[in-house]
Structure 1
């Protein structure tokens, strides 16, 4: 029996408009992005940059396992042999569903456990940055704690 070996990509999508909120653009976290839209954008990026051969190699194993619209964090699973094609396609993304983004691959792992640990640690760092930007952190303390608890449970529940 042969086991399928995967690579797990932990990707953060940085919104290009977060620095320019004064111009009336709403941040990415309030827009309606989900795993399906990210998958479609990845598929289009693979086909555009690597052609049908690239999509044939990656298509059967590429899945978006988790996406958080609050922290813009995504966990992507792909077959080990084709993970560089998927990594290149993620890096070459410029927009997802008309939302201009900059993808940043944070971690590449061979096991889901290490991807989960990195995702939980990254979520804590992002929430800590959110808290430092607030003028009155005591008002939003409970909502961020609830989010961290909920997202940690969701990430730990992911199965291979």
Structure 2
């Protein structure tokens, strides 16, 4: 029996501001919310544009978006071990998703889903701490982010290979 070996990419999609303000405002946007299907489709187009059909053929059978959080713009991508450089390059070269500009940032690369889960939970906590710091709230302040952290942690821990 042969085991398929994968790599797990933890990617943060940083939205580019569309107005002249320095901080992007995603709360008042009339645009539809980004989903994992949109990310997969944009990644497919980027890989095809930069690596051709051969590059997409190598990556396509194992590429999946296992998790996406619209609150923190973090996603976990699974790809075969041998093809992870193509997927990583595709993520890095991805400039827009559904017409909106994003700066992709690969936060973590791991060989197991468990390590990707722990990195995603840690990263979500750091992003929420930054949101609270912008709002000038203490870490002990109870708000909707506490519920988000609890639900996202459960959702991430429920992921299976």
Counterpart of 2:109 in structure 1 is 108
Q: 1:99-145: per-residue Cα shift (whole Å, max 9, x none)?
A: 1000000000000000000000000000000001114569x732010
Unaligned runs of at least 5 residues, structure 1: none
> Which has the larger helix fraction?
1
CA shift in 2, pair 1:21/1:27, >3 Å: farther
CA distance in 2, matches of 1:28, 1:55: 34
- The residue that corresponds to 1:152 in the other structure is 153
Partner of 1:141, secondary structure, is: coil
Structure 1 counterpart of 2:26: 27
The root-mean-square deviation of aligned C-alpha atoms, in Å, is: 2.2
Name the CA distance, whole Å, in 1 between partners of 2:150 and 2:9: 22
* Structure 2 gap ranges (5+): none
Q: 1:19 to 1:7 in 2, by over 3 A?
A: farther
Match of 1:14 in 2: 14
**Which residue of structure 2 aligns with residue 47 of structure 1?**
48
Cα gap change, 1:12 to 1:18, in 2 (>3 Å): farther
Alpha-carbon distance in 2 for matches of 1:21, 1:136:
22
Q: Structure 2 vs 1, CA of residues 5 and 28 (structure 1 numbering), >3 Å: closer, same or farther?
A: farther
Answer yes or no: is the 8 Å Cα contact 1:42–1:90 preserved in 2: yes
